[in-house]
A and B are shown apart, each in its own frame.
Chain A
Amino acid sequence: MSIKGDLQDVCVSLGGTPILHDVSLEIPAGSFLTLLGPSGSGKTTTLNVLAGFVSPQSGHVLFDGEPVDKLPPERRSTGIVFQDYALFPHLTVEQNVEFPLKARRVPRAERLERVNRMLELVQLPGTNGKRITTLSGGQRQRVAVARALVFEPRLLLLDEPLAALDKHLRESMQVELRGLQEQLGITTVAVTHDQAEALVMSDLVAIMRAGAVEQVGTPKEVYKRPRTRFVATFLGEANLLRVDDPLVAALGIGWTAQGGDAEVLLRPEDLRLERPEDAPDRPAFYVRRIEFHGARLRISVNPDIRSSTEDLTVSLEACTDAEAWQVGDRVALACDPRAAHVIDPENAAPPAMVSA
């Protein structure tokens, strides 16, 4: 029942301004793909191309290998959860969820049955007669999901579905939404600018920038092995060092020749601090700042205590051991060289969009 979706070299420009440039994506059947990027990177437009609200100037959209370029949105069978949910405020929960079935002329008895089954699935059983305006944000979100899924669409599209919820609710809804998606096995494409959300929910993350896809991969791949500097810095915190920086050699990181412009990515959690007297051959740093984040400590270190150069960030588990560090301490920096990742500058040049 789940289908795969494809975008092939999709270009979109609106009013002469290019919005998407040669976007190609493969969305495997039954998978959860998240489009992640800063605002204006074209992720919502990509979603709208899939839904059929935006028609590309060139390129193709395929559902299960069949081109759907000519199909209007109402015939594409995509369930969409909008950022503001776009529920009908004058209708009850039941009438909202029933709407897509009414549009398909499903008989009343079957409609009711499917609505009830759906409301149970999103954990809102018995709310049929309630008005949308009396529901909380989280409940509205569930109704929107139920309405998007009740007609068994071929593709589920989520446009910043959790952006309007508070942090706590957002985190539990991430798990719930992901569980629902796995249970139904429906191919899903979500848009978000929240990198944590993307990493938690998705099978695949596509990082977008300036109308192009920079990298597609599993959350682990894009986090650990970013192709470009942009991806490295957009996802989580990144310490980037030029490969010819003496520190790189001092940390014991070997690299294959990629030119002096290549950079080494060290995630803060891959770095460790040691007492300078225990590791005299390690590079020496000063602790400049310590932030307490609950489960972790974020420590900024610099080779020179008064330096204006950028600090390196070290993230440590906030156990008693780590709390021994004080601002101004001299420390030795260590890392597991295998965790380091070299970014080839050749990957970086974002295509064509700059001049346009």
Chain B
Amino acid sequence: MPLVTLATRAIHDKGASGIGHTLTDPLFEQAVTRTLVLALTVAVICLLLGTLYALALVTAKGPVKALLWGALLVSFWISLLVRTYGWVLLLQPNGVLDKTLRGLGVIHDSLNALQTTPAMYPGMVHIMLPYMVLPIYTSLAALDPSQLRAARSMGAPPLLTFRKVILPQLRPGAIAGAILVFVLSLGFFVTPAFLGGPSKLTVGTIIEREFNSVYDFGAASVMSLALVFVVLAIYLVADRLFRVGEHWTAG
């Protein structure tokens, strides 16, 4: 239903040429580029950190393991807004980051870190990381421990076992996590809005602005539909890729 409403709204308000106009609007194009770069970078960073985190989750023992799980789950449970505000407090002028760096004598003036494009990254990574860790962890947990023993008994040094046995088998989880993070980041609104501010628009924030500030419902509809289609296309491609991945994990 909402999709139909969006489509009729877009066609009714804009017509074919209007749709073209909206999509080639430099502001929108800028936002798209910024969003793509953001989503891709966040996905890659999360991939690296997520793999490390998942490995740590599996290898850690006792209280360290509990702590790692706790940190992961707590960041899932705490509201998105609260976590984003946390980053605002950290990055804002005279915030924790400024004070610490000034205290250390690294800087003298405020960094003015908030409401810049780079400010979006740490927040986004923080919020997306759990979506990456869990699928990778699942892959890792499914790994048969006797394979690691087998590798050892055959004389493999740990690094070889890691490269040739563990990493390749993390692939399905890593692919799933990376796609999830990428797609989520594409349409993400709250975090870019708070940390990036009104001048550093992403697709999510520009749609909101067209809707709530400019009242151009037609443009907002066109952009939303474009986002929906892109996400759908990525999902379909990913599904193909993923099935290829499943081909060799299936029993």
Contacts and interface: CB of A to CB of B under 8 A. Distances in A.
Interface of A: 51, 53, 72-80, 82-84, 86-91, 99-100, 102-104, 131, 133, 147-148, 151
A79 B149 CA distance: 11
User: Chain A CB within 10 Å — which of B149, B165, B169 has the most?
Assistant: B149
17 contacts: A51-B153, A72-B152, A73-B152, A74-B154, A74-B157, A76-B153, A78-B153, A80-B153, A84-B146, A86-B149, A91-B164, A99-B156, A102-B164, A103-B151, A104-B155, A131-B248, A148-B154
B243 to A, nearest CB: 14
Nearest to B164: A99
Contact of A82 (B146, B164, B165, B251): B146
Q: Say whether chain B's binding surface is mostly helix, strand, loop, or mixed.
A: helix
Contact of B150 (A82, A131, A151): A82
B249 interface: yes
A79 B146 CA distance: 13
Contacts of B146: 82-84, 86
Interface in B22-76: none
A102 B160 contact: yes
Interface in B164-192: 164-165, 168-169, 171
B149 A53 contact: yes
Nearest to B171: A90
Contacts of B144: 84, 86
A77 B147 CA distance: 16
B6 to A, nearest CB: 43
A100 B164 CA distance: 12
Contacts, number: 76
B242 to A, nearest CB: 15
Contacts of A53: 149, 152-153
B250 A88 contact: no
Nearest to A99: B154
Contacts of A83: 146
Contacts of B169: 89-90
Contacts of B153: 51, 53, 73-74, 76, 78-80
B196 to A, nearest CB: 40
Interface string B1-12: 000000000000
A100 B149 contact: no
Nearest to B172: A90
B154 to A, nearest CB: 4
Nearest to B245: A90
A99 B157 CA distance: 11
A86 B157 contact: no
Contact of A90 (B155, B157, B168): B168
A71 to B, nearest CB: 11
Contacts of B147: 86-88
A74 B156 contact: yes
B19 to A, nearest CB: 45
Interface in B117-162: 144, 146-147, 149-157, 160
A114 B249 CA distance: 28
A51 to B, nearest CB: 6
